Amino acid sequence: MSSERHIQLLPDHVANKIAAGEVVDRPASVVKELVENALDAGATQVDVQIVAGGRKLISVSDNGSGMNRDDALLSVERHATSKIRDVDDIERIGTLGFRGEALAAISAVAQFTLTTRRRDAESGTEVVIHGGKMQAVRDVGCPVGTTIHVRHLLFNVPARRKFLRSEQTELSHVRQAFLVYALSHPSVGFRLTVDEREVYRLAAGASVEDRLRDLFGPDLVKALRPVDYHAHDVTLRGYAGLPAASRADRAEQYIFINTRPASAPLLNYAVGEAYHTLLPHGRHPVLFLYVELDPSLVDVNVHPAKKEVRFRSPGDVRDAVIAGIRESLERASPNPELSSTASRTSGAAIGAEPPPARKPLITIENLPPARTFSYPRMPMIPSESPATSAGSRSDGGRAVDKDRGQSPWAWCRILGQVGGLYVVLETDEGLVLMDPHAAHERILFEKYMSEVLANKVTSQGLLTPETVDLAPRDALRVRENVSLLRKMGFGISEFGGDSFIVDALPACLGQSSAAALLTAVSASLEEAGARGGTERWSEESIAQAACKTAVKARDRLNLDEIERLVVDLAGAEMPYTCPHGRPTIIFMSFNELHKKFGRT
Ligand code: ADP
Ligand code: MG
């Protein structure tokens, strides 16, 4: 049968329909293309309207440049664009669109009306196209800017229309597309109306922070720290989520390259590395990142849907993202809006005498009048929101805090340990539960890493060198990393086969067993290797595993040890989670307690 067929050029309307299906596969992609055009036209207000999940109507109005009659007619032709002239222009794209395909595609597969007027024109132009066929062109009165109505999307491509999902599903894709541009252009006013109901009204002239608050609410904003970083022609702005506000997927990660929503494996990798040791496996931070760099250093042409980008100097972008996020999370200056101003409450001690109940809820061990001491400020996390407040780096030491009185947690009282484990503390703002293992891991990890990074690890010789036999896979990994381990304070040499001799360990790891350390280290190296990490990543993985092993041994703590932990934790750069991302402390403010007890 095929042998009887001859080659034929497809008529334009067929070719257009086929091509159109690639640009426009669902209502959300129409919204994306039309909103991009509006933004490229310099609009300061963009209104999107959807009926029946976009099957009946998608409309986008803007107050941008508008078009004259000739341009309006050209705009719906394939490969008609005002945004590039020559192939070289692809090298430095400053607009969201450039392929000149969207309007041609949309008008080929819908009932399409374009109404547009330039500021300097007396009247506007209306162009009506149904399924690629021009129905009318006329002068009309209309406001400056452009409005496009798209009705009955894919009405003439039933094979594709069939693939549209439920109204709900299509709508959620539309909302997502809308959200992305509302975020990429916070200074532009946006409105989204669904079935005649206004869903979003976002004011023009907003800052990123305003926009985030309007879209996601104040709780999310409290869990963010500003990012502001510049290096190697790469500028980074935006907000990075604190570890406590992490999620199981990347759905709340928005990255824009030169205001263009972008994704790239490199960016995911960099974000992962920036949060390494702050989040457990499988958790992802909330992130709103605006990356700016010279357009000639980014290739946005890789992906037809223009989402995936490539970089001329990927290393610089990766390093900037890592450094920018880390700096933001570590920054000491507290965000004033985030610091709590809760009034001082006279926190009555939880009985100096043990409660008489048969099975006391809280066992207070060897507790003299509870010990109160001052220590550097450590802002606390209200347990009702994921947010931590304010920054935390301090100069260490336990001198009386100069800010005492203003600082959220200027003193603290140790009430005891519960469950044979958790430390209970009272502060001037509320109740704190601390997991001493997690806290100790965090402290140890930071101390160890700072020694490693400064190339100043102190190692401690073992009285009798230990011979360690490892499983073949573990041995292989350790062998490959012997020099790194030496740099990190392990006195280690190969002893033939899968055996090693260890004659020194990093001093900060105390009396740990060499065998346990090496086994744990090897497992974490496997993970680091599997994720293609850098040397820094390997170092962190080693430190992470080693600290966990070193800490495991200790259980009961005396008051001095607890006090030491609190002071050291307050001085940590990232006090709220252990290096594996578990929380170190849980805080409940007196305000929260009052609320829970109905005392408002
Ligand atoms: P592209 O955006 O890739 O150039 P489109 O098919 O989306 O291709 O648009 C074609 C041209 O129509 C654009 O280059 C622009 O000149 C014009 N245009 C489209 N939408 C608008 C708009 N909302 N306001 C002003 N001009 C527009
Ligand atoms: Mg376009």
pLDDT digits (tens, 9 = 90+) for 49-102: 999 999 999 999 999 999 999 999 999 988 778 877 777 777 777 788 777 889
> How far, in Å, CA of 414 to CA of 563, rounded?
8
Task: Tell me if 47 CB under 6 Å of ligand 1.
Answer: no
For residue 587, list its beta bridge partners.
Answer: 382, 432
Q: Find out if CATH 3.30.565.10 is the number for domain 12-205.
A: yes
CATH topology of domain 336-347+363-438+553-596: formyl-coa transferase, domain 3 (3.30.1540)
The pLDDT value given to residue 554: 57
Place of tokens 């992609």: 29
The residue nearest atom 1 of ligand 1, judged by CA position, is 100
Buried b (16+ CB within 10 A) or exposed e, 187-224: ebbbbbbbeeeeebebeeebebbebbbbbbeeebbbbb
pLDDT: which is higher, 430 or 187: 187
Q: What residue spans define the domains of the chain?
A: 12-205, 217-330, 336-347+363-438+553-596, 452-549
Residue 575 DSSP class? T
The pLDDT value given to residue 533: 60
> How far, in Å, CA of 99 to CA of 93, rounded?
11
Rounded (10°) angle between helices 559-570 and 436-453: 50
The residue nearest atom 7 of ligand 1, judged by CA position, is 102
The pLDDT value given to residue 3: 59
443, 565 in Cβ contact below 8 A?
A: yes
pLDDT at 383 over 80: no
The residue nearest atom 8 of ligand 1, judged by CA position, is 100
Question: Which of 191, 72, 76 is CA-nearest to residue 140?
Answer: 72
Mean pLDDT, range 123-136, rounded to an integer = 95
| Count helices and strands in the chain by DSSP H and E runs | 17, 23
Backbone angles phi, psi at 570, to 5 degrees: -60, -30
Question: Separation of 67 CA from ligand 1 center, angstroms?
Answer: 9
146, 61 in Cβ contact below 8 A?
A: yes
Task: Tell me if 23 CB under 6 Å of ligand 1.
Answer: no
Mean pLDDT, range 429-444, rounded to an integer = 89
Question: Which of 434, 410, 417 is CA-nearest to residue 360?
Answer: 417
Task: Tell me if 376 CB under 6 Å of ligand 1.
Answer: no
Ligand 1 pocket test target in 34, 40, 61, 73 with most atoms within 8 Å of CB: 40
pLDDT digits (tens, 9 = 90+) for 17-47: 877 877 788 999 999 999 999 999 999 999 9
Task: Tell me if 124 CB under 6 Å of ligand 1.
Answer: no
Question: Separation of 98 CA from ligand 1 center, angstroms?
Answer: 8
Task: Tell me if 568 CB under 6 Å of ligand 1.
Answer: no
Task: Tell me if 74 CB under 6 Å of ligand 1.
Answer: no
Mean pLDDT, range 514-518, rounded to an integer = 89
Task: Tell me if 103 CB under 6 Å of ligand 1.
Answer: yes
Task: Tell me if 39 CB under 6 Å of ligand 1.
Answer: no
Q: Find out if CATH 3.30.1370.100 is the number for domain 452-549.
A: yes
pLDDT at 356 over 50: no
Question: Separation of 239 CA from ligand 1 center, angstroms?
Answer: 32
Give the nearest ligand 1 atom to 148 CA.
23
**Percentage of residues in the chain with pLDDT exceeding 90?**
41
**Percentage of residues in the chain with pLDDT exceeding 70?**
83
CATH topology of domain 217-330: Ribosomal Protein S5; domain 2 (3.30.230)
pLDDT: which is higher, 536 or 431: 431
Give the nearest ligand 1 atom to 62 CA.
23
- 406: which residues sit within 8 A by CB, 6+ positions away? none
Mean pLDDT, range 502-519, rounded to an integer = 89
Question: Separation of 287 CA from ligand 2 center, angstroms?
Answer: 27
Question: Separation of 398 CA from ligand 2 center, angstroms?
Answer: 60
Task: Tell me if 112 CB under 6 Å of ligand 1.
Answer: no
Question: Separation of 106 CA from ligand 1 center, angstroms?
Answer: 12
- 161 CB burial (10 A radius; 0-12, 13-18, 19+): middle
The pLDDT confidence band at residue 203, using thresholds 50, 70 and 90, is very high
Residue 89 DSSP class? G
Q: Which ligand is nearest to the CA of 70?
A: 1
The residue nearest atom 16 of ligand 1, judged by CA position, is 82
Ligand 1 pocket test target in 75, 93, 117 with most atoms within 8 Å of CB: 75
Task: Tell me if 97 CB under 6 Å of ligand 1.
Answer: yes
Ligand 1 pocket test target in 24, 33, 37 with most atoms within 8 Å of CB: 37
- 27 CB burial (10 A radius; 0-12, 13-18, 19+): buried
The residue nearest atom 14 of ligand 1, judged by CA position, is 81
> How far, in Å, CA of 269 to CA of 276, rounded?
10
Q: DSSP letter string over 92-126? A: G--SS--SS-HHHHHHHSSEEEEEEE-TT-SSEEE
The pLDDT value given to residue 446: 92
Task: Tell me if 375 CB under 6 Å of ligand 1.
Answer: no
Give the nearest ligand 1 atom to 33 CA.
7
Mean pLDDT, range 371-377, rounded to an integer = 50
- In whole numbers, what is the pLDDT of the chain averaged over residues? 81
Q: Which ligand is nearest to the CA of 39?
A: 1
Question: Separation of 100 CA from ligand 2 center, angstroms?
Answer: 6
- Return the C-alpha torsion angle 152, 154, 160, 162, nearest 10: 20
Tokens of 506: 């990093």
User: What is the torsional sign of CA 448, 450, 453, 459?
Assistant: negative
Question: Separation of 79 CA from ligand 2 center, angstroms?
Answer: 10
Q: Which ligand is nearest to the CA of 93?
A: 1
pLDDT at 173 over 90: yes
Question: Separation of 198 CA from ligand 2 center, angstroms?
Answer: 25
Task: Tell me if 80 CB under 6 Å of ligand 1.
Answer: yes
> How far, in Å, CA of 16 to CA of 78, rounded?
8
Tokens of 450: 């700072």
Question: Separation of 568 CA from ligand 1 center, angstroms?
Answer: 59
> How far, in Å, CA of 220 to CA of 199, rounded?
19
The residue nearest atom 21 of ligand 1, judged by CA position, is 37
> Which of the residue ranges 99-113, 261-275, 391-405, 547-561 has the most confident prediction, judged by mean pLDDT?
99-113
Give the nearest ligand 1 atom to 145 CA.
24
| pTM as predicted | 0.66
